[in-house]
Amino acid sequence: MDAPRIVAVIGGGPAGLRAAEVAAEAGCAVTVFDRKPSPGRKFLLAGVGGLNLTHSEPLETFVSRYRGGGDRWPSLLADFGPEALRAWAADLGVPTFVGTSGRVFPEAKKAAPLLRAWIARLKKEGVAFRFRHAWRGWEGTEGGLHLLFDHEGRAVSYPCHSAVLALGGASYPETGSDGSWVPLLEARDIAVAPWRAANCGYAVAGGWPEAVLAAAEGKPLKNIALTAGERRIEGEALVTRYGIEGSAVYALGAAIRESDPRVVRIDFKPSLSAEELLRRWGTPPRSSAAFLAAAAPRWRLGPAAVALLEWGERENPSPTPRALAERVKDFPLPLGEARPLAEAISSAGGVAWRELDDSLMLRAAPGLFVAGEMIDWEAPTGGYLLQGCFATGTRAGRGAAGGG
């Protein structure tokens, strides 16, 4: 009987664990290496908010949420898509449900039970784990690879037939996802796109006036629409001390980052036209301040929306009720810098897609595959990030197992 193919997975996050699972199911002898003393640290961090695993929307819409990778995502999600992920979780004894927003969560809304069940199944399938192993590169051999690690100050070499790199991006570095692997690939002339913060908040240009902070800090902007460039997203945002954040801001991240000037336009009442707002006005008061005070309850504007509109009225008073209605529908908010990368929920940047073949193997390093946030793609929150990690982990694991 032939000896099993030896596969190493470097990185114990969801992409790496999924790659290990696929390779083990294909009959490979799999070892997972991680620089931390335990796996899944960023996965557990995602569970603090309830562990949004995936989304229930139609696949053709789902695919459109990904930026980077061109036309690869339909194929990747066909390999392991939302329904497959839900079935996988159920098979682990973790049933899921669809929330009112269409997002999919474990019924317990916790990451730890799922991770424990997953690790137990991997160990049952023969997957070995080696922790406190910091990857330091590789050497190609006639029969495969020699992986190089630093294990508590000692150099370690591990021979294998193939390996999956799943070392993460560069957000939340305390979890081990710090992008420190970039020089190892660039030294081999493998292109890596610069890191950018994704799914993050943005500062308001010049900062909020104290009056806005006093009235709106920590308060939501509900049921709004945001536009940046050609993209428009309906959702919610939150006024923070530095600026603005929230799901609608995250979904527009790339469009905001690339717009010049960097302005996001707020529609405080996307379900109503300016004409309908005017119809609800009644008898208009004479001053612009009185305009807004009278209109706010009729238009059901929340305190954060009112604070921003009052700021706009102080800076440039609306001469007519129509002008105020149009400002409610199109409020320009100039933005400054994104929050620091270390604070971002995820990162854009990473290994350029052109460096990878269809199996996600590095063209310049036969036998070495890449998965997860190491690759240059981004997606909004809402389940798309984890789904992308599972899908790329599936493809890379299959490739490393010799399945192409």
Residues 114, 120, 124, CA angle at the centre, nearest 5°?
145
| Whether residue 318 is found in the same domain as residue 351 | no
Closest CA to 19 of 9, 33, 34: 9
Q: Assess whether pLDDT exceeds 70 at residue 1.
A: no
Q: In the block, which residue shows the tokens 């023969």? A: 126
Closest CA to 238 of 213, 218, 255, 210: 218
| Whether residue 171 is found in the same domain as residue 217 | no
Pairing, β 331-338 against β 202-204: antiparallel
Angstrom distance (rounded) from CA 74 to CA 80? 10
* 1 within domain boundaries: no
| Whether residue 306 is found in the same domain as residue 370 | no
Angstrom distance (rounded) from CA 371 to CA 17? 10
Percent of the chain with pLDDT over 70: 97
Domain C-terminal end among 312, 338, 364: 338
| Whether residue 14 is found in the same domain as residue 150 | yes
pLDDT, mean of residues 64-72: 93
Q: What 3-state DSSP class applies to 86? A: helix
Length reported for the chain: 404
| Whether residue 33 is found in the same domain as residue 163 | yes
Pairing, β 103-106 against β 96-98: antiparallel
pLDDT, mean of residues 361-366: 96
| Whether residue 261 is found in the same domain as residue 333 | yes
| Whether residue 43 is found in the same domain as residue 169 | yes
* 216 within domain boundaries: yes
Q: Report pLDDT for 263.
A: 96
Domain C-terminal end among 338, 355, 389: 338
* 245 within domain boundaries: yes
Please give the structure tokens belonging to residue 257. Answer: 């980052």
| Whether residue 33 is found in the same domain as residue 160 | yes
| Phi and psi angles of residue 389, each rounded to the nearest 5 degrees, phi first | -65, -45
| Whether residue 216 is found in the same domain as residue 304 | yes
Q: Which residues partner with 33 through β-bridges?
A: 10, 130
* 66 within domain boundaries: yes
On the 0-12 / 13-18 / 19+ scale of CB atoms within 10 A, 269 is buried
* 290 within domain boundaries: yes
Domain span holding position 308: 202-338
* 27 within domain boundaries: yes
Closest CA to 360 of 205, 209, 165: 165
Q: Report pLDDT for 307.
A: 95
Q: Report pLDDT for 359.
A: 98
Summarised one tens digit per residue, pLDDT across range 314-346 is 999 888 888 889 999 999 999 999 999 999 999
Angstrom distance (rounded) from CA 231 to CA 386? 23
Please give the structure tokens belonging to residue 342. Answer: 């270390």
| Whether residue 248 is found in the same domain as residue 393 | no
* 372 within domain boundaries: yes
| Whether residue 365 is found in the same domain as residue 254 | no
| Whether residue 144 is found in the same domain as residue 256 | no
On the 0-12 / 13-18 / 19+ scale of CB atoms within 10 A, 217 is middle
Please give the structure tokens belonging to residue 348. Answer: 């854009």
Q: Assess whether pLDDT exceeds 70 at residue 287.
A: no
Count: domains in the chain: 2
Please give the structure tokens belonging to residue 259. Answer: 């717009």
| Phi and psi angles of residue 64, each rounded to the nearest 5 degrees, phi first | -70, -10
Angstrom distance (rounded) from CA 80 to CA 328? 43
Please give the structure tokens belonging to residue 305. Answer: 């929306």
Q: Report pLDDT for 128.
A: 98
Domain C-terminal end among 338, 363, 383: 338
Instruction: Please compute, for residue 385, the number of CA atoms within 13 A of its CA located in the half-sphere on the CB side.
Output: 25
CB atoms within 10 A of CB 58: 9
Question: Which CATH number do you get for residue 117?
Answer: 3.50.50.60
pTM above 0.85, yes or no: yes
Q: What 3-state DSSP class applies to 106? A: strand
* 271 within domain boundaries: yes
Q: Assess whether pLDDT exceeds 80 at residue 167.
A: yes
